[in-house]
Structure 1
């Protein structure tokens, strides 16, 4: 059995992760039109988590940009 170790947080990937998360959220919103019952609830739950992730990534990107400006 292998143990999964998370990799280092590469801040260069944050903008790409943000774009991908937004794209996934938009695709899920379109799928909601055709979803029913448990599938619909699952999509809504995932999109709520995605929204939180988007906000976190935006804050992290902003903080990184401010750090670069200040020379940290």
Structure 2
């Protein structure tokens, strides 16, 4: 008979910090990509700009998630 693994409990206690770290890393990636784009050709620059647009959208989503997690923490749900 196969052993059944117990699921790990949902530990959200450090989600805000993890999300903030993700935002910071993404912002650094955007900045580095913008520096690279200055020396790139038109096609590569367009790709970089498209990727940075997606990164900025991701940052907005992460910031919303940070707000949600912080509110949950205040309500004692973590």
For the criterion TM > 0.5, the same-fold answer is yes
Write the distance in 2 (CA, Å) between the matches of 1:59 and 1:26: 21
Write the distance in 1 (CA, Å) between the matches of 2:43 and 2:19: 31
- Residues 6-62 of structure 1: CA deviation (Å, up to 9, x unaligned): xxxx73521111111000001111112111121101100100000000000000011
Q: TM-score with structure 2 length normalisation? A: 0.73
Question: Which protein shows a greater Rg?
Answer: 2
- Unpaired runs of 5+ in structure 1? 1-9
Which SS does the other structure have where 2:40 is aligned? coil
| Selected match of 1:69 from 57, 69, 74 | 74
Write the distance in 2 (CA, Å) between the matches of 1:69 and 1:57: 18
Following superposition, which runs of at least 4 residues in structure 1 exceed 6 angstroms of deviation? none
Q: Which protein has the bigger helix share?
A: 1
Please tell me the root mean square deviation across aligned C-alpha atoms, in Å: 1.8
- Unpaired runs of 5+ in structure 2? 1-11
Q: TM-score with structure 1 length normalisation? A: 0.78
- Aligned residue pair count: 64
